Structure 1
Amino acid sequence: MDIKTRQASHWDDYIALRRDIHRHPELGFEEHRTAGLVADRLRALGYTVTEGIAGTGLVGSLRHGASARSIGLRADMDALPIQEANDIAWASQTPNIMHACGHDGHTAILLAAAHAIAQRRAFDGTVNLIFQPAEELGGGGGARRMIEEGLFERFPCDAVFALHNMPGWPAGQFMFKDQVMMASADRVVVTFQGKGGHGAVPHRAVDPTIAAASAIMALQTIASRTIDPLQSVVISVGALNAGSTYNVIPDSARLELSVRTLSATVRDQLEASITRICTLQAESFGASAHIDYQRGYPVLVNTTAETQSAIAVARQQFGDARVVTDIDPLMGSEDFAYMLRECPGCYLLIGNGQIGEHDDATGLTNCMVHNPGYDFNDACLAPAATFWAALVEHRLAPA
């Protein structure tokens, strides 16, 4: 009996579980209820569970046979600080927090796969299921903390894999990208310090807003005139704050930038260029600039052998028509990149449905993640869990 047939009777249970997690979202490093639920499920399936890694993170391990080979599968568990706008029975019951990125789905998928893996035991080696907190928190999030607390020393993995749902693609479509797949993401806070004064006598002040405005325009020349045009670079001003009333020149102005690229080398160039431009623009107006350059997630780089292995499994399970093997890189970022710096592996996507597509069953119209109207598409759960179980059996096939 194959994975899909054997597991079919359990899909409704895991859809109900996904919706229960959606109803009770928790922010990064606060996923106590979710982690407890996951731990209970894994223990009931026969996994050895280690809790308290990076606070609310945990690993469920299952060994079968005599092989020393191992594999890691990772799911993220945290929600976002967004007020849900959906009118559905499983809508968030916690004000201003919702699963707007589908991590409820990722968690349920991996638990459903855990069920199939434990039930079949058609592998030889060790399976490590990594349930990670705080993917949404930037550079100091859950993946980095789990690694710092000895994740791969305590739970060695020959390769590690993760997936994310992706609106804009048909539900259940699998998408892959070898090598560079997602961008680094840095946060830069620039404070321009001037000298405040009366708006009627600007010559007696040093206006930091002029320096900030000039720097905003100059920063855009980095992508157009400093970096190789074949490289992908994004410098976005997300916040500009200065002053409190119309007739007072403020003492300071503050910029917050989002900086992204697909190259570690270009990332270093961006930091140097942003620092130079902001410093010199401020000095040219008699002001000064303090640059707080905060490095977040690194570039996410899949390894070729593991990517090709995952593609082969997806094709075997679902056919060529449902597998895209060379999608364009994404300028979004993912802290699974930290795990891929420590261990070979592959990060892949599964379609969550076309954007604008209406679901008569839920009454929802599919939209992009990080949106108050988003919901994970439960039609993704069965194929994704089936893929995970098949990947384990492929990678750890008995000799």
Structure 2
Amino acid sequence: MFLLRIALKNTFRKMRRSLLTAVSIFVGVFMMVLGLSFIDGLDSSVIRGQIRSDTGHFRIMAKGYLEAEEENEIGPLVEEWEKQKASWGDSMEAQLHPRLSFPAELSNGRDGLQARGVGIEPESYLAAFELPVIRSAPVKPEQNPVWVGSGLAEPLGLEPGSTATLLARTRFGTYTAEEFVVAGIIRSSNAAVDSTTFFIPLKKAQELLDSAHSVSEVVGFVPRDALALEVQSRHASTLQAQGLFMQTWQERAAPVLSVNQVRRKSLNALVFLIMLVAATSIANTMVMSAFERIREIGTYRALGLQTERMAAMLMVEAGVIGVLGALMGALLGSAAIYSMRSGIDMSSMASSGNITVSMSTMLYVDLSPARVVSSFMTGLIVAALAALYPAIKFSRLSPMEAMKR
């Protein structure tokens, strides 16, 4: 208790210097809490966007489809998918949704935009994915209903009930065109879907593309995100025998998540540099403080204060500075995250074209107690390690040597 009281007295003897030293710890801890939580939020946004509004937990495709998809071509199809599905049985344990994707031009009769058409089974597909219809009009099946992403409908001036012309190529390369009536405007939380995609009934898409009963892919949902890899492993050999393969959401999102990993490493490097500056600052503060009180240290040693207890007192002084900086960094970082608990709407950034990957436009930054505690402890450890050398050095001074200085 005596050592703690003396350490606190010495720490606040030079209040300004101690607070300035604590600031560097504060900045490092604050950036760890806020920055890493923000990057975790980006990861979650990408994963949520991929799964809930684009590809589901997995998608089953014919070999060679991915290469064609990159070239914006129809590519090889899953032939007679209903028969293929029957061979999978109930072991898939997933909710399956067939779809037929194709490049097309959507026109209002005057202007046209290149877009991505998707043939779906509307009732089940729109309910399974997060694709809310914000405006709708009753359209009969024989009128060829189409549901258009809000970012695609706006520049074309399309509204529910208006007519749109679809120009596409069949799977054999011939051009085909047909009129559709807008049944609804979709506004999801995925900018890439909203700005480029429209949906038509699957049977109509198969007729338009002359694809019979074939589909581009079959997307599926499983009860938990992590189960996708298990399903892939279980059915890999069966699908391979059928000339098919399965891509999981982990594989689909990997390129974007790898970019976030680069951001994470960059942030860690920046925090490391800040903590290095903080450690240097604390070590410098401890040396200056010890030199200013070197006679006082000699007196304590002459009165019988052991080396270990003298070092402990100096370490406690550094610990107080570390606690001040780390605590403020953790608290303010947590407060900043808490203030964003309702999410950050990035839809305006998406509409400007700055978001081109499939990700949710609502960014949620979760407050992780484990990250707050680990960041706080990192600040304390940096302070303790920085003070270790000065504490050992000055605690070993003999009383005579200290009194001479």
TM-score interval, smaller chain: under 0.3
More helix per residue: 2
What is the TM-score normalised by the length of structure 2? Answer: 0.24
Q: Which has the larger radius of gyration?
A: 2
Where relative contact order (Cα < 8 A, 6+ residues apart) is larger, the structure is 2
More strand per residue: 1
